[in-house]
Amino acid sequence: MGDKTSIEWTEATWNPIRGCSRVSAGCVHCYAERQAARFSGPGEPYEGLLDHGHWNGTVRVVHAHLDDPLRWKRPRRIFVNSMSDLFHETLAFEDIARIFGVMAAAPRHTFQILTKRPARMVEFFAWLKGKGDEPYPIDQVRVGERMAVLTAKFDMVNLQERFGPWPLPNVWIGVSVESQQAADERIPLLVETPAAIRWVSMEPLLGPVDLAQNLPGERMLRWVRPMVKMLDWVVVGGESGPEARPMHPFWARDLRDQCAAAQAAFLFKQWGEWAPAMGDLYWYPLDGGPAFPIRGDGAGCYAFGDGYGAVRIGKAKAGRLLDGVEHLGYPIALSA
């Protein structure tokens, strides 16, 4: 957590909550879980949040880091809760509201939110909207020589009066999607959510995904009515880590082409541990480089069964070129 990060599509991470639990196949090799396990001993930041190296469902608000973005003077893109999920089912709506209050109070930054729990996200915004008739308590938090207002509860009207238009123009809200099933479940709920930018992170991508088939009105109209008004940004990447699963090049290519047709920004983050390849006796990396002979036991090679496969050469060597091109698209925030 902090003012720097190696995540390719952001510039900083901010973790006002810690802890999580697995919800789908995309969580099986969770990088955050592996990292947290290293710091879960007595007195360490993630003590009590894991059992036998896995998230145990306990989530904590880290009050000492709640105001971190207010201390950061230089504008930057900030990934919110890289080590958790802002809409975890055990986190009180009041605590989620406090975090939105910080984001509202720091308009110089761009905040990037990802969740695998969009149903909970929809519930939060419904709860938020219903707070208009209640008192408006606030917490005063001193940051340097100025006072920043962090809301304990707020409704959309009050939020607009205090900080400007709703949805917050500096907050991008997205869902993590690893498969067609996850897309079908999560993207329609994302579309229901008020957001200046709606985006999808598809890492690890574990299968082909048709983004259009789960968007309202898109199944019949297809690209006649572009998804650009519903999805603004798509990030795609293969899995990294010791037990990483390979990504078929067609899955990434198809998503690139879907975004181009819909005029949505596309960012290819990485191949991950496995480089795409094809061939019989040798695997030829599609993005160049030396051919790799197939070992007799198949170790280090994976066949998709259609003439394509992958070789395990590590994230750094596999790189982030898709058909020889680096894709670094970012969305442009528009008024809602």
Structure-token pair, residue 267: 């960012």
Half-sphere exposure in the Cβ direction for 300 (13 Å, CA): 9
* Predicted pLDDT of residue 303: 80
Where residue 295 falls among pLDDT bands split at 50, 70, 90?
very low
Q: What is the mean pLDDT of residues 252-260?
A: 95
- Give the helix/strand (H/E) hosting 335: none
Predicted confidence (pLDDT) per residue in 16-53, tens digit: 999 998 988 888 888 888 887 888 889 998 888 888 88
* Predicted pLDDT of residue 141: 54
Half-sphere exposure in the Cβ direction for 22 (13 Å, CA): 15
Percentage of residues of the chain with pLDDT beyond 90? 48
Asked if 29 and 244 count as a contact pair (C-beta separation under 8 A), the reply is yes
50 vs 58, 268, 328, CA distance in Å?
A: 8, 31, 35
Report how far residue 308's alpha carbon sits from residue 237's, in angstroms, rounded to the nearest whole number.
18
* Predicted pLDDT of residue 321: 93
Is pLDDT of 182 > 80? yes
Distance of CA 193 to the CA centre of its chain: 15
Is pLDDT of 147 > 70? no
For residue 51, report the phi and psi dihedrals to the nearest 5 degrees. Answer: -125, 120
CA-based nearest residue to 268, from 280, 258, 278, 256: 256
* Predicted pLDDT of residue 146: 46
* Predicted pLDDT of residue 128: 83
Average model confidence (pLDDT) across the chain: 82
For residue 256, report the phi and psi dihedrals to the nearest 5 degrees. Answer: -60, -45
Report how far residue 100's alpha carbon sits from residue 286's, in angstroms, rounded to the nearest whole number.
43
Is pLDDT of 167 > 90? no
* Distance in angstroms between the alpha carbons of the first and the last residue of the chain: 31
Q: 3-state class of 177 per DSSP? A: coil
Is pLDDT of 298 > 60? no
Between 108 and 54, the higher pLDDT residue: 108
204 secondary structure, DSSP code: S
For residue 301, report the phi and psi dihedrals to the nearest 5 degrees. Answer: -130, 150
Owner of token pair 């496995």: 274
- Where are the domains positioned within the chain? 12-20+60-326
Between 144 and 113, the higher pLDDT residue: 113
Q: What is the mean pLDDT of residues 241-258?
A: 93
* Predicted pLDDT of residue 214: 60
Buried b (16+ CB within 10 A) or exposed e, 288-303: eeeebebeeeeeebbe
Crossing angle, helix 93-104 and helix 118-129, to 10 degrees?
80
